[in-house]
Structure 1
Amino acid sequence: MKKVGIIDVAKAAGVSVSTVSLVLRQKGKISQATIEKVQAAIASLGYVHNVAAANLRASTSNLIGLILRDFGDTFAMKVTASLIQELETQGFMVFLAQPQDDEHLARTLVSFSRQGVAGVIWLCADHRCDTLPEPLKTCPLPLVAVSQTPLQSNIDVVMRDNRQAASLATRYLIERGHRNIAWIGGEANSLLRHQRLLGYRAALAQYGLPLREEFTPVCAEDTFAASVVTRQLLEKNNTITALLCHSPHAIIGSLSGIQQVGRTVGKDVFLTQQVSLIGFEDMLQINLTSPSFTYVSSASEEAGRQAAMLMIRKLKEPTLPPQYITLSGQLVPRDSA
């Protein structure tokens, strides 16, 4: 069977090939009656528009390359879902890649260029580094980064405000009567931990509360380490009534540590057996726990939408100067604090 082409559609609709092309690309001033004739011809003939080939002919593209390295990171996955939804709503398609090292990343960027990708969005997952990977520094394509920590790069960045999130959580606890608030989790070289501790310390200073370094121990990112640190901290400092948990591992581990010293999780500061907990991730495993956890949202969905819209603006206005968009989280009070 002969493949149906744009010429066949033009003949069936009684219009020129250029008119069909304009209808397919949704360009030009075409009457609604003509559009309906062309669409009817397309439907009756079963014509399939080859978008990729049209992009190549027009030297334009509706393809966006998305790079992420950690599919296990819930923040990245929520950003990805929101970003793809927004791009598809605007008529773009997404190529997803997961390079595990800089060599693979360089090959991915070459492949994107060969496929006619219009721009690249990079989801940064390394909390220990504040610079771009080397291949991205020389990427010729428009580039937008979504990061959980600040990046020292002259590119478009969407990130969450970690200082604001930690300050918000700390102030919430202080205003509920807590005066001895400790921090659980985060490795020493984590920029995410560093940024959040700045907010925690600023809130303590705002209310005239002393900063005690022993209340902010570093901790490996696993539940057992968090459990051990929590138990040791509460055994040495039985006046602690609240814990800020750096990660889901810290929250889950702290539950075990609290139980091991004979205390419980709860929001009543006047019951000395209770310890209030606040986390920083709106994650499924937190939401399914009992008691339900108070947390500061990661603004992941909004980060995805902002990154998508920023990329679209860059494609429309190539000379637009780099933008740095910082998103604030919201505190969701529940049963744990």
Structure 2
Amino acid sequence: MKKVSIIDVAKRAEVSVSTVSLVLRQKGKISEATIARVQAAIEELGYVHNVAAANLRASTSNLIGLIVHDFNDAFSTRVTASVVQALEAQGFMVFLTQPSDNPQRLEQCLLSFTRQGVAGVIYLAANATRDTLPEVIENCPLPLVAISQSPLQSARDLVMRDNRQAGSLVTRYLIERGHRNIAYIGGGKDCLIRQQRLLGYQAALKQYGMPWREEFTPACADETHAASLATRELLEANNKITALLCHSPNAIIGCIDGIQQVGRTVGKDVFLTQQVSLAGFEDMMHVNLTSPSFTYVSSASDETGRQAASLMVRKIREPELAAQRITLSGQLVVRGSA
């Protein structure tokens, strides 16, 4: 069977080849009647538009490269889904890859993107212990937008979470509920996300004239056993603590276990000394598996993906656009745990 060409479509629709091309690329001022005639001819003949070949001819591309490091991380997964959905809605396709931060692998990844003719790259940073992008990403010759859960020092376009705002928001909520002894569980000492949240936590304490107590903010490995042990030791040494901020999903589970081990329960009644209120920072499946349900500050993951996609499209269409830094705030979701 002969392959249907754009010439065949033009003949059937009784228009020029250039008109068919403009309709396919959604360019130019073409009447609705002409567009309908061309589309009818395409459907009737079964014409398949080769987007990749058209991109090469026009030196343009509807491909966006997306670099993701950890699909086990709920934030990364939700951001990825949001980025893909937002880009597809604007006619782009996503070329997804998952290298490590190894410079050679990243360089090979960018080379592959270049060969595929991508129009730009979105990089989802994964290392919360460094405030810079990998050198090969920082020097990427393509339009690039970086997404990060922690603050970055970079000249590139950035979309970041406001962890300081999150820490302040949830701490102020607990104070306003009557809590006066609030602790923070989890995160390594070198974790930038933890450091920023603690700045917000400390600012809220200061705002209400409450002291900062370093022993109330134990760092620990991001695993349930470590968080459980830290919680138990903290509550045994300070039985007046009535609220805990959980750094991560593992910290949530560990805190619940540690609370139970010292004979206390999870709840929002600050006047019942056996109850400990729990709050945290993530909007993910784990918060719906606890009993009572978990109070948290959302990570704004869906909005992060939409903002990154929108900025990527702007960078492609406006190459001279100055570098943008977008910082997104989370929202407090109050449930039964605090």
TM-score by length of 2: 0.99
1:130 has 2:131 as partner: yes
Q: Which residue of 2 aligns with 1:98?
A: 98
Q: What is the CA–CA distance in structure 2 between the aligned matches of 1:165 and 1:29, rounded to whole Å?
A: 48
Q: What is the CA–CA distance in structure 2 between the aligned matches of 1:49 and 1:263, rounded to whole Å?
A: 65
Aligned length: 337
AA aligned to 1:53 is A
AA aligned to 1:190 is C
Q: What is the CA–CA distance in structure 2 between the aligned matches of 1:291 and 1:88, rounded to whole Å?
A: 38
How far the C-alpha of 1:307 sits from its partner, in A, is 0.3
AA aligned to 1:74 is A
Q: What is the CA–CA distance in structure 2 between the aligned matches of 1:93 and 1:169, rounded to whole Å?
A: 38
Q: Which residue of 1 aligns with 2:238?
A: 237
* Secondary structure of 2:151 counterpart: coil
Q: Which residue of 2 aligns with 1:182?
A: 183
How far the C-alpha of 1:33 sits from its partner, in A, is 1.5
AA aligned to 2:7 is I
Q: Which runs of 4+ in 1 moved over 4 A?
A: none
Q: State the Cα deviation string for residues 98-129 of structure 1 (Å, max 9, x = none).
A: 00222111101000001010000000111001
How far the C-alpha of 1:2 sits from its partner, in A, is 1.1
AA aligned to 1:64 is I
| Contact 2:52 2:61 (8 Å CA) reproduced | yes
Q: What is the CA–CA distance in structure 2 between the aligned matches of 1:3 and 1:242, rounded to whole Å?
A: 69
1:22-41 alignment, distance < 5 Å? 22-41=22-41
Q: State the Cα deviation string for residues 136-193 of structure 1 (Å, max 9, x = none).
A: 1221100001100111110110011000000000000000000000110000110111
* Secondary structure of 1:94 counterpart: strand
Q: Which residue of 1 aligns with 2:197?
A: 196
Q: What is the CA–CA distance in structure 1 between the aligned matches of 2:138 and 2:177, rounded to whole Å?
A: 46
Q: Which residue of 2 aligns with 1:83?
A: 83
1:145 has 2:146 as partner: yes
Q: State the Cα deviation string for residues 57-84 of structure 1 (Å, max 9, x = none).
A: 0011110000011111111111111111
Q: Which residue of 1 aligns with 2:5?
A: 5
How far the C-alpha of 1:15 sits from its partner, in A, is 1.1
Q: Percent identity?
A: 74
| Contact 2:138 2:156 (8 Å CA) reproduced | no
Q: What is the CA–CA distance in structure 2 between the aligned matches of 1:250 and 1:83, rounded to whole Å?
A: 28
Q: State the Cα deviation string for residues 235-279 of structure 1 (Å, max 9, x = none).
A: 000000000011111110000100000000000000000000001
* Secondary structure of 1:30 counterpart: coil
How far the C-alpha of 1:12 sits from its partner, in A, is 1.1
TM-score by length of 1: 0.99
For structure 1, the 5+ residue unaligned runs are: none
Q: What is the CA–CA distance in structure 2 between the aligned matches of 1:300 and 1:20, rounded to whole Å?
A: 40
Q: Which residue of 1 aligns with 2:286?
A: 285
For structure 2, the 5+ residue unaligned runs are: none
1:155 has 2:156 as partner: yes
Q: Which residue of 2 aligns with 1:45?
A: 45
AA aligned to 1:158 is V
AA aligned to 1:211 is W
Q: State the Cα deviation string for residues 183-213 of structure 1 (Å, max 9, x = none).
A: 1000011011101000000000110101111
1:214-293 alignment, distance < 5 Å? 214-293=215-294
How far the C-alpha of 1:44 sits from its partner, in A, is 0.8
How far the C-alpha of 1:37 sits from its partner, in A, is 1.2
How far the C-alpha of 1:34 sits from its partner, in A, is 1.3
Q: What is the CA–CA distance in structure 1 between the aligned matches of 2:283 and 2:235, rounded to whole Å?
A: 26
Q: What is the CA–CA distance in structure 2 between the aligned matches of 1:104 and 1:207, rounded to whole Å?
A: 49
* Secondary structure of 1:129 counterpart: coil
* Secondary structure of 1:311 counterpart: helix
1:309 has 2:310 as partner: yes
| Contact 2:281 2:298 (8 Å CA) reproduced | yes
AA aligned to 1:234 is L
Q: Which residue of 1 aligns with 2:64?
A: 64
Q: What is the CA–CA distance in structure 2 between the aligned matches of 1:67 and 1:82, rounded to whole Å?
A: 14
* Secondary structure of 1:326 counterpart: strand
* Secondary structure of 2:40 counterpart: helix
AA aligned to 2:291 is S
* Secondary structure of 2:75 counterpart: helix
How far the C-alpha of 1:28 sits from its partner, in A, is 1.1
How far the C-alpha of 1:29 sits from its partner, in A, is 1.3
* Secondary structure of 2:105 counterpart: helix
**Root-mean-square deviation over aligned CA pairs:** 0.7
1:103-122 alignment, distance < 5 Å? 103-122=104-123
Q: What is the CA–CA distance in structure 1 between the aligned matches of 2:98 and 2:185, rounded to whole Å?
A: 31
Q: What is the CA–CA distance in structure 1 between the aligned matches of 2:68 and 2:136, rounded to whole Å?
A: 14
